[in-house]
Structure 1
Amino acid sequence: MTKTLKINSGSLIPADTIRFIRPIDAEERTRLVERYGDDAAGFKISIQFADKTTKLAVDSLDEVRGQGIGLVNIGSDRHVVASNIKEASPFTKDDADKLAGDKGYTLNQTFRSRIETTAGALLSSATPEQVMSRRAKALEANGPK
């Protein structure tokens, strides 16, 4: 059975569809309120799905963890569901050059690993060893998945 995350007092989300979760900072919250009104002031996290759509939630990262969802911080305040991580491999300068040259991407930070998840690939500033160690700790803290 797929683990589910309950957000916003009732919506259920299958955890294996979550690409990453990140907290909403004060600056972003201000922009949300300007755009959507005072109701947006309560949002605490943004959830990105495999199809790269997002959903905002009033729940905090700690409340997500409290539901038994182990989270791994992969850098830049992005948190991946631990049970979704399939592999972490080194991200080399050659890999970065290929993205910049072949695909025209601009990388604004140094990435050390590429993480394969059930919801797609992500780049991380953590090393593959750090990612897998954090994954093991998160899974251990939340029991078998």
Structure 2
Amino acid sequence: MRIVVLFGSEMGTAEKVAEAVAEELNEHQITVFDMSEFDITELDPEIFHIIVCSTYGEGDLPTGAEPFFEALEAHRPDLTALRFAVFGLGDSVYDNTFNRGGEIAAAKLTALGGVQLGDHARHDASTEIKPAAMGREWSRTLPLESITLAPA
């Protein structure tokens, strides 16, 4: 299976999680991209997408993810056949905005027709759980064998 991991990060933690997920899923054809450098026209329904997104400020998307989601809003592509999973990062100290970056990302993709699969992971920086370790563990739970992607 081909997999693209897209990360949106402010401090680099989401990038580290994305790399850990890619290492864990290395039996697949996997590529990691910074969302700020990924063109939305490359969203391909023949590829499973994993979104790793932190939360910034008052529950906002990180700066690195903004261009990607602004382009989605501006062009509104039909993502009906797109299958994706989300790993969000946040800090429960901010209970009103905890993990909003990942939730915003999921909502924007599903609003365009994308289908979220697997558990929406929500890492909490206030715990002792390391984000990359949680990302590795979470990636093993993804239902990759049962995912049906758009035919070539």
TM-score (norm 1): 0.27
Whichever of the two has the greater Rg, that structure is 1
Structure with higher RCO (Cα < 8 A, 6+ apart): 2
Greater per-residue strand proportion:
1
